[in-house]
Amino acid sequence: MSTPSVYDKLKALNIELPPVAVPAAAYVPFMRTGNLVFLSGHIAKKDGKAWVGQLGTDMDTATAKTAARAVAIDLMGTLHAAVGDLNKVTRIVKVLSLVNSSGSYTEQHLVTNGCSELIGEVFGERGAHARSAFGVAQLPMGACVEIELIAEVAA
């Protein structure tokens, strides 16, 4: 029996990949060098707009974890655009997450699990990745979460 493709897993999860978002400033959404693809930071969006909130002030961990999951979907859409076929991804190498946080908030790692868990579910063993999760004073447009990703792809 064959292993389900990444697209089979996405379909089973009822996830449709979005198109690449237009950058909000002077950068490109992704850059490939050799077998590595670097995805620029993607902010959490809800209803097409920045998902605004600050953890420890006006947003809870569970809501931000859902926002981080939404970012993972956007990241996969960009990764698909970058490589043409997500089945070419040999490894998700690194996820870096920035969480808009008050000075006393300490659950950034739990927020970021929203992204990491979905990537693991979709890519399986290839989705196990190194990770950093930081609390920051503010993010562009007041977004609650911004995440970037590095992936390795087949030549």
Instruction: Give the domain CATH number at 121.
Output: 3.30.1330.40
For residue 37, list its beta bridge partners. Answer: 32, 151
CB atoms within 10 A of CB 54: 21
| Residues in the chain, pLDDT under 70 | 1-2
Q: What is the pLDDT of residue 2?
A: 65
Q: Does a structural domain hold residue 69?
A: yes
Q: Is residue 1 part of a domain?
A: no
Q: Is 74 domain-assigned?
A: yes
Lateral strand order in the sheet of 89-100: 30-33, 36-43, 145-153, 89-100, 130-136
Structural domain includes residue 42: yes
Supply the range of the domain harboring residue 19.
Answer: 6-153
Q: Domains in the chain: how many in total?
A: 1
Q: Is residue 97, in this structure, part of any structural domain at all?
A: yes
Residue 21 included in any domain: yes
pLDDT tens column, 107-132: 999 999 999 999 999 999 999 999 99
Domain-located, residue 22? yes
